[in-house]
Amino acid sequence: MSNSPFLSIETFRQAFLAGLEDLLEQPGFGVFILGLANATFDPEIHAALKSPLQYRFDQLAEICRESLSGGREVPTAPDDLVVFLKLMAIGFDGVALTEFRRTDEWELQFNHIRAFRPARMTGEKVTGIHRPFDPRGFHFNKPFLRKEVFWEGELHGLEVELLYNKFPFAQFHGLLVPERREREPQYLSHLYHLYIWNLTEELGGCLPGVGFGYNSYGAFASVNHLHFQMFVREQSLPLEAEQWEHSGGETPYPVDCLHFGSAPEAWAYLNELHREGISYNLIYRPGCLYCLPRRKQGCYEHAPWTTGYAWYEMAGGVTTTNRADYDNFDAAVIDAELAKLQL
């Protein structure tokens, strides 16, 4: 791995920040939004990038004003324009930094900037757990996404790209896209299951806290192009607490969760879910996998305070974009929402 950022947590941290600094030197609304969202998620990154972010915001705001006052289109993608106009409405300093707190077992975060995120396919009602790759839809082969690549190269025997997550909700949050040009849909094969299992074990030796989340089709995957969500957390996820039955404890988790200690055993179960058309969320950790079969998006009515439960929410984390929700939620609210996902 030439110029690998995966050698140590410090190497990864430095590369992550350096990549964001490089992004802000490029023109465009999309890269600014990505830089701002990643900065507001991490106080250290925010401190390092606040000045260039402010400078770029002022430049882009002037482009918007000049274009719109002259009756011309703003030169950016419609999604990015909508997000940026909302940012203009509240001002650069109006975006709050992400905050965290615990309520009983659960982790809450107030992630203000995710309130502006486009819905993409998470708002769709779906059937089955497989849909063919659609070259006309949103996917990671789009040329403008090349700017958002954090690292690319051979990793554990496959060509991969690791993109920054444009609206992160996890520490050092990236989107790992294996063999991007193969145009694989978001449908997990045995090959890619083994790949991520083994990759997680390999990276775990040098990146403590590393893991990969996966949302199957119908489980709030936002893009139908094969990808895994990489994160590096200092704290374990609520799902990983020893109190839960799936971890050997006595407390039942509010929704079915299976804990596997071997890749073949996990695949046997996943293969059965595929045959039955059951959607699921996964969390890969070094040497283990948490699997949460669940009801499909669109088949139940989720609460208005969430855009839907994907791997992080299923693992006991709740992302709120409303300050009052963040301040007032208690464990009972979270228990009730998780219970809706039970098959």
- For the stretch 14-63, pLDDT in tens is 999 999 999 999 989 999 999 999 999 999 999 999 999 999 999 999 99
The rounded distance, in Å, linking the Cα atoms of 230 and 210 is 7
Hey, what domains does the chain have and what are their CATH numbers? 1-96 (no CATH), 98-339 (3.30.428.70)
pLDDT for res 202: 96
pTM exceeds cut of 0.85: yes
Amino acid present at 191:
L
DSSP state of 188: -
Question: Alpha-carbon torsion 53, 306, 220, 282, what sign?
Answer: positive
DSSP state of 262: S
- Token pair recorded at residue 244: 């839960």
Q: Would you give per-residue pLDDT tens digits along the chain (343 residues)? A: 457 999 999 999 999 999 999 999 998 999 999 999 999 999 999 999 999 999 999 999 999 999 999 999 998 988 899 999 999 999 999 999 999 999 999 999 999 999 988 765 555 678 889 999 999 988 999 998 999 999 999 999 999 999 999 999 999 999 999 999 999 999 999 999 999 999 999 999 999 999 999 999 999 998 999 999 999 998 999 999 999 999 999 999 999 999 999 999 999 999 999 999 999 999 999 999 999 999 999 898 889 889 889 999 999 999 999 999 999 999 999 999 999 999 9
Nearest to 33 by CA among 92, 119, 75, 109: 92
Would you state the torsion angle of the CA atoms of residues 21, 26, 32, 34, taken in this order, to the nearest 10 degrees? -70
H or E element that contains 198? helix 190-204
The rounded distance, in Å, linking the Cα atoms of 306 and 320 is 7
